Structure 1
Amino acid sequence: MIKNTIPPVAKKLPVQLEKHNDTRVDDYFWMNERDSPEVLSHLKEENRYYDEMTAHTKAFQAQLFKEMKGRIKEDDASVPYKHNGYWYYRRFETGKDYPLYCRKEGSLDAPEIIVFDNNEMADGHSYFSQASYSVSEDNTIAAYGIDTVSRRQYTIRFKNLVTEEILNTEIKNTTGGAVWANDNKTVYYSRKDEETLRSNQIFKHTLGTDPSEDVLVYQEDDETFYTYVFKSKSKKYILIGSDSTMTSEFRFASAARGTTDFKVFQERTRGLEYAVSHYDDAFYIQTNKDKATNFKVMRTPENQTAMQYWEDLIPHREDTLLEDVEIFKKYLVISERSNGLNKIRIKSWDDRVDYYLPFDNETYDAYPTTNIDFDTHILRYAYNALNTPASVIDFNMETQEKTILKEQEILGGNFSKDNYKMERSWAPAQDGAKIPISIVYHKDTVLDGNAPLLQYAYGSYGSTIDPSFSSIRLSLLDRGFIYAIAHIRGGEYLGRKWYEDGKLLKKKNTFTDFIDVSKFLIAQNYTSSKHLYAYGGSAGGLLIGAVINMAPELYNGVIAAVPFVDVVTTMLDDTIPLTTGEYDEWGNPNDKEYYDYMKSYSPYDNAFAKAYPNILVTTGYHDSQVQYWEPAKWVAKLRKNNTSNNQIIFQCNMDAGHGGASGRFEALKEVAQDYAFLLDLEGITK
């Protein structure tokens, strides 16, 4: 890596931030002023420095991009699914970045109808995203959401599928989804608060009317909740959900026509979480009621929805997390997780059938996919593993026969899953817990402590990172890298308690777990500190920031993507998107106990003088979840306090948001940049 280029030096304008009689000094608070000339100039200088520091890898980046793109079947298509008389699917065309959404009437042999061509729609935009679209029950009108800024503020539009006319109606500042009533003229949608971007209102729109006349159906006034709307699989009800991190509430109304008369299903009770499905004359509730930490399934008559009427159907189990349910006419399908592994359980309503789909790998990823129809005995699910490309499978729940509909093709001619070894290990944590690790590497990689290893984790919101396949990752594995997923606390890999033990006042378990996994991988001769790398994004970027403050000597390099690193300041600012809804995840720093705890691990507040590893930080200027200024300020402070000669580089994509570049190939270019950074540190240049 080039060492003689001078990094940008951000000016210091100290601002005193006071809370609970404690004063923090933020030298770079001025970067919070979006669109100011000084901020834009600084970000431009950071991007210039990044380009200079990585100029010697540009050819290698191009090679990596070509290699990763070469494994992808460009003219690929999803497996069609049938809905309301039409077969729906998505396909790509060679050389094009965006998908075409298509359907066929009645039969797969029928002529193709292109509903949306995102390549045409994206033309002229540096960023483009279409939210999922929904079609009226008479199959004539499609509602769809478009974002061309990357702030996740979608504009809903309508297309007449008979005439192919785009209607004049535009509904702005929404989450992108629209839910049809059964009258084919009414849609419900979520609108966002303009400042915080919290989805706080549900509106009803009638086709042919001006959006200014839309009727407010529900408003969520509690700033720690967000709201959304959906239709039951039975098509009988429209449901409005309100969720916070640890509390749920639903309202429901007949989907027959555009009503505004919604009834509370079960009023919110702090700590009570529940989700609702409907079938026949009953509702089915997935809930933690009665201290069911890992959740259970209950049932209640559709005219008696308060929780005193709920009765157990699938009881709570201490060793099994109940993740989801899928309802069919004859079967209930339950997605579970036991000892970290996905399980799919199939149970008939008459209790005569009750079995699990067989999976025999040591570690894998399996889950139900698109199952829209009630009256079918076919379950569609997906399966993959760290060394096994994804398959889409139809499973006959009556005969227990499976049909593989599609296997992911890995082009290039030399891929074989037998070339890659997959393992699951358990690292001892500081407090005696055992932390699962999913590991994959090329069979020719020697485990003598000298192999480079990329360790990844997320560790927040109960989000579980499953050991899934990536054709892109082969570019690391084929060059001798080991890849390890640390299933740390803060996720739900080992059940709900695994999550609870990595949030709020136990958040530091997330960071120490990651460090303990690193120490274990070194002790087991997978790698060494000279060859160990770490990656995390968003809340996973917070993880990386905390880890390199606590144990910088363990890593040769790290990548922090869109990192949430200025925890205290952000959580004290309730005008920033997502803040108030995060209190139950991180704590509310207006409470001194949470303030002190956050301050003790916040990466920005703890970036003191120390020998940091090589660091690459990436962000998007339009990021609505982690504002660009968090990583920008963090990088400036890291550079000021870094006592090593290692490089700290920062790239801000001025056209993107939290998810990075749009388009399947533009996104690959960003991965190529990340991989080139890691490989360059290893002296691997081709």
Structure 2
Amino acid sequence: MSVESVVAAPIAKTVPTERVHHGDVFVDEYEWLRDKEDPEVISHLQAENAYTEAQTAHLQGLREKIFEEIKSRTQETDLSVPTRMGDFWYYSRSYEGKQYGVHCRCPIDAAAGAAEAAGVTTERTADAADGIDAWTPPRLEADSEIPGEQVLLDSNELAAGHAYFALGAFSVSHDGNLLAYSVDTVGDERYTLRFKDLRSGEPLADEIAGTAPGVTWSLDGSHVFYQTVDESWRPDTVWRHRLGATESDVRVFHEPDERYWVSIGSTRSEKYLMIWVGSKITTEGWVLESDNPEGEFRILMPRREGVEYSAEHAVIGGDDRFLILHNDVVDGVKAENFVLAEAPVDDPSNLTLLIGHRDDVRLEDVDAFADHLVLSYRREALTRVAVWPLTASGYGERRELEFDLELFAVGTGANPEWAQPTLRIGLTSFITPMQVFDYVPATGALLLRKEQPVLGGYDANDYEQHRDWAVAADGTRVPISLVWKKGAVAEGEPKPLLLYGYGSYEASMDPSFSVARLSLLDRGMVFAVAHVRGGGEMGRLWYENGKTLTKKNTFTDFVAAARHLIDTGVTAADRMIADGGSAGGLLVGAVANLAPELFRGILANVPFVDPLTSILDPSLPLTVIEWDEWGNPLADKDVYEYMKSYSPYENVEAKDYPAILAVTSLNDTRVLYVEPAKWVAKLRATKTGDAPLLLKTEMSAGHGGVSGRYEKWKEVAFEHAWVLDTVGLAEE
């Protein structure tokens, strides 16, 4: 008798609970699953895990094979490109057999000596600007000893004895003498902040529990600023801690409005500390000179509902200025895609426009250096980077970096110094492993420092990536990105396809390389991303038209993309899997109700499939701040009815659904495990047909799933094996 026949599908008991809002009565039969302290709830989740393992036991060999493929393609002992800061080169190491990274540094002179001793010459260019030699990172060998190397933090040691580990803050003081770091060993995103003297290697006595992940140093290293969260996991308070002090830490900022998150950091120049207060639609900044850590923060520009802005310090023509990126009204028109202005530091509201609004370009960020600015923006659903020289009189000519790829993602990397002759950037695509470049603004030279190694003979020319467009029901063109292996499938035949989507929070799903994805592509599967509304790929209005009372565009765009891929012969309904996580889990859950006939399977990771119940409860983590994204169903009947009409959980019907695998984590504070648990329970009791329905709960993890790279590879292998099996590509 097979294992599959022994383990029966768990049937959750029903305990009718009424939810009444705006005259509507909803009877929720599975709300009892919310109490994770109830042994019966834990038993039910464990029964679901046992059932899932039994139903997928035949894939064990394939899972192991995929895991070994990921492992064999990964250079397990490796070293990142060193980044210069102060008197040291900073880099991270990975070691074969170890789950986590190791943070290191070495003196600049020692690094150069190590490279020369190994017979390695650093790259030079004939037209390199003055000072490039000193900023050319040494080619340190991953398996060689580096003179003067100092291990700053070994996450493997910190993780020892814990089922889960995450590193939050990791910040070296400006003089290079002290390290602040924080760890989470539960998965609930509450960290313990600790300190280390890098001169002696000894830990300091200071320890602060219950912090948010970040930390910011004062300029002299005497103080750090950190955040704490409220009962809803909202970062709401900034504290100042004096190193070695016995007195209580000082609360320097608190935001009582539950719609706003609080963060703290500094300008790139490190001259100013910045506290940022932001909702989904409104921003406010507070500023303080970093060399005066016990001073009072002052407001930059008062918040105004619906106006977002950011500020960066720059020195223009010898004067301190703030560069302000904002979406306020300019010349009578709302600057939806943002504009860039400058203002005197002592009068931030006195704005002078530098870059005006464009409908086809979404300005996203500006970084300031001593002699140039770096603009980050997106155009035609792709990220772009431009360098803007600063001259004695003001601004020079902007230059956009260009790459010979149809699809790509580019962005700035680690550039900690205010004055440096190079700009570190990263470039990747679906077929391009991550490349690290140093760009030389003075000459335009683009120097390749490293490409992510992919072992086993990977050749980008064996794969193709392409942009396609679907047409939504309202005529909107929806971009689709695709990648596949050449010759893996017969021409003209529909291909097995994994269609991924997200579509919330203006988050963009940009092209990126994945070693693990090769295990799908090499077996003849196509990977596609539907860049649906609610994301940010096509500008701010792309986001605005996929949120609150237009949220259904996110789902219908995904359906339109799926239909397009079927109609053009790329795939077929019995060969396509829909894939989404978190808010993307809401997407695929809604699509499972809208168009189940288009998919063979649904893969939902930590899925937000009971959104109305969550957004109706202000006591739940993050709910109030989410009202700007979804609307407030407590106060607005129209929002309530609209959310109820698309909620995956509340719209489960007695009809055939595709095969479904839902993966969640018991300690997730963002999307509670109860949502997929309730969804699967209701589906199992309601749906027709015999397509498999599986729930897998990580019992010691948070929103990001399991920790440790080998454990993550095993989880990916589990999901990939299920995907391949569902579309008929699993090996015998």
TM-score by length of 2: 0.91
In structure 1, C-alpha distance between the alignment counterparts of 2:378 and 2:29, rounded to whole Å: 46
Structure 1 counterpart of 2:271, one-letter code: K
CA deviation map 1:384-422 (0-9, x unaligned): 111111100011111111110001111123x11111111
In the alignment, what sits opposite 1:268?
A: 303
Q: Which runs of 5+ in 2 are unaligned?
A: 113-146
Contact 2:426 2:437 survives alignment (8 Å): yes
Give the counterpart of 1:135 among 172, 176, 189. 172
In the alignment, what sits opposite 2:86?
A: 84
After TM superposition, give the deviation of residue 34 of structure 1 in Å: 2.0
Q: How does 1:557-568 map to 2 (within 5 A)?
A: 557-568=601-612
After TM superposition, give the deviation of residue 208 of structure 1 in Å: 1.2
After TM superposition, give the deviation of residue 3 of structure 1 in Å: 6.8
1:285 is paired with a residue whose SS is strand
Give the counterpart of 2:400 among 356, 364, 377. 356
In the alignment, what sits opposite 1:199?
A: 235
Structure 1 counterpart of 2:467, one-letter code: R
In structure 1, C-alpha distance between the alignment counterparts of 2:602 and 2:712, rounded to whole Å: 20
In the alignment, what sits opposite 2:554?
A: 510
Contact 1:617 1:631 survives alignment (8 Å): yes
Structure 2 counterpart of 1:323, one-letter code: E
1:175 is paired with a residue whose SS is strand
Q: How does 1:207-606 map to 2 (within 5 A)?
A: 207-210=243-246, 213-280=248-315, 281-290=320-329, 291-305=334-348, 307=349, 309-350=350-391, 351-413=395-457, 415-444=458-487, 445-590=489-634, 591-606=636-651
1:652 is paired with a residue whose SS is strand
In the alignment, what sits opposite 1:39?
A: 41
In the alignment, what sits opposite 1:663?
A: 708
Contact 2:502 2:581 survives alignment (8 Å): yes
After TM superposition, give the deviation of residue 175 of structure 1 in Å: 1.2
After TM superposition, give the deviation of residue 674 of structure 1 in Å: 0.4
CA deviation map 1:570-603 (0-9, x unaligned): 0011111111111111111111111111111011
After TM superposition, give the deviation of residue 134 of structure 1 in Å: 1.1
Contact 1:179 1:231 survives alignment (8 Å): yes
After TM superposition, give the deviation of residue 685 of structure 1 in Å: 3.0
Contact 1:286 1:298 survives alignment (8 Å): yes
Contact 1:449 1:522 survives alignment (8 Å): no
Contact 1:217 1:260 survives alignment (8 Å): no
After TM superposition, give the deviation of residue 84 of structure 1 in Å: 2.3
Give the counterpart of 1:13 among 12, 15, 19. 15
Give the counterpart of 1:54 among 29, 53, 56. 56
CA deviation map 1:243-271 (0-9, x unaligned): 10010001111111322411010111001
After TM superposition, give the deviation of residue 449 of structure 1 in Å: 4.2
Structure 2 counterpart of 1:87, one-letter code: W
Structure 2 counterpart of 1:167, one-letter code: L
In structure 1, C-alpha distance between the alignment counterparts of 2:495 and 2:80, rounded to whole Å: 37
In the alignment, what sits opposite 1:157?
A: 194
Contact 2:4 2:54 survives alignment (8 Å): no
Give the counterpart of 1:642 among 687, 690, 708. 687
1:645 is paired with a residue whose SS is coil
1:430 is paired with a residue whose SS is coil
Structure 2 counterpart of 1:232, one-letter code: T
Q: Which runs of 5+ in 1 are unaligned?
A: none
CA deviation map 1:325-371 (0-9, x unaligned): 12122211111211112221122223332221112321111111112
Q: How does 1:52-131 map to 2 (within 5 A)?
A: 52-107=54-109, 108-109=111-112, 110-131=147-168
After TM superposition, give the deviation of residue 143 of structure 1 in Å: 0.7
Structure 1 counterpart of 2:575, one-letter code: H
Q: Using the aligned pairs only, state the percent identity.
A: 42
After TM superposition, give the deviation of residue 2 of structure 1 in Å: 8.7
In structure 2, C-alpha distance between the alignment counterparts of 1:321 and 1:75, rounded to whole Å: 39
2:722 is paired with a residue whose SS is helix
In structure 1, C-alpha distance between the alignment counterparts of 2:640 and 2:396, rounded to whole Å: 54
Contact 1:447 1:527 survives alignment (8 Å): no
In structure 1, C-alpha distance between the alignment counterparts of 2:398 and 2:219, rounded to whole Å: 35
Structure 2 counterpart of 1:207, one-letter code: L
In structure 2, C-alpha distance between the alignment counterparts of 1:294 and 1:353, rounded to whole Å: 22
In structure 2, C-alpha distance between the alignment counterparts of 1:173 and 1:209, rounded to whole Å: 18
After TM superposition, give the deviation of residue 296 of structure 1 in Å: 1.2
Contact 2:101 2:156 survives alignment (8 Å): yes
2:287 is paired with a residue whose SS is strand
1:64 is paired with a residue whose SS is helix
Give the counterpart of 1:632 among 677, 682, 687. 677
Contact 2:70 2:515 survives alignment (8 Å): yes
In structure 1, C-alpha distance between the alignment counterparts of 2:459 and 2:174, rounded to whole Å: 45
In structure 1, C-alpha distance between the alignment counterparts of 2:589 and 2:493, rounded to whole Å: 25
In structure 1, C-alpha distance between the alignment counterparts of 2:263 and 2:428, rounded to whole Å: 31
After TM superposition, give the deviation of residue 450 of structure 1 in Å: 3.0
CA deviation map 1:501-529 (0-9, x unaligned): 10010000000000000000001111100
Contact 1:449 1:528 survives alignment (8 Å): no
CA deviation map 1:413-470 (0-9, x unaligned): 3x11111111110001100010001101110123434311000011000000001111
Structure 1 counterpart of 2:384, one-letter code: K
Computed over aligned residues only, the root mean square deviation of the Cα atoms, in angstroms, reads 1.3
Contact 1:156 1:177 survives alignment (8 Å): no
In the alignment, what sits opposite 1:27?
A: 29
Contact 2:268 2:369 survives alignment (8 Å): no
CA deviation map 1:119-146 (0-9, x unaligned): 1111100001111311222222111110
In structure 2, C-alpha distance between the alignment counterparts of 1:685 and 1:601, rounded to whole Å: 34
After TM superposition, give the deviation of residue 209 of structure 1 in Å: 2.2
1:142 is paired with a residue whose SS is strand
CA deviation map 1:2-41 (0-9, x unaligned): 9745210000000000011111110011111122111111
In structure 2, C-alpha distance between the alignment counterparts of 1:649 and 1:420, rounded to whole Å: 32
Structure 2 counterpart of 1:197, one-letter code: W
In structure 2, C-alpha distance between the alignment counterparts of 1:137 and 1:359, rounded to whole Å: 35
1:667 is paired with a residue whose SS is helix
In the alignment, what sits opposite 2:697?
A: 652
Contact 2:269 2:369 survives alignment (8 Å): no
After TM superposition, give the deviation of residue 105 of structure 1 in Å: 2.2
Structure 2 counterpart of 1:182, one-letter code: L
Structure 1 counterpart of 2:242, one-letter code: T
In the alignment, what sits opposite 2:115?
A: none
In structure 2, C-alpha distance between the alignment counterparts of 1:564 and 1:447, rounded to whole Å: 38
Structure 1 counterpart of 2:358, one-letter code: R
In structure 2, C-alpha distance between the alignment counterparts of 1:2 and 1:449, rounded to whole Å: 36
Q: How many residues align?
A: 681
In the alignment, what sits opposite 1:673?
A: 718
Give the counterpart of 1:146 among 183, 189, 192. 183
In structure 2, C-alpha distance between the alignment counterparts of 1:495 and 1:197, rounded to whole Å: 29
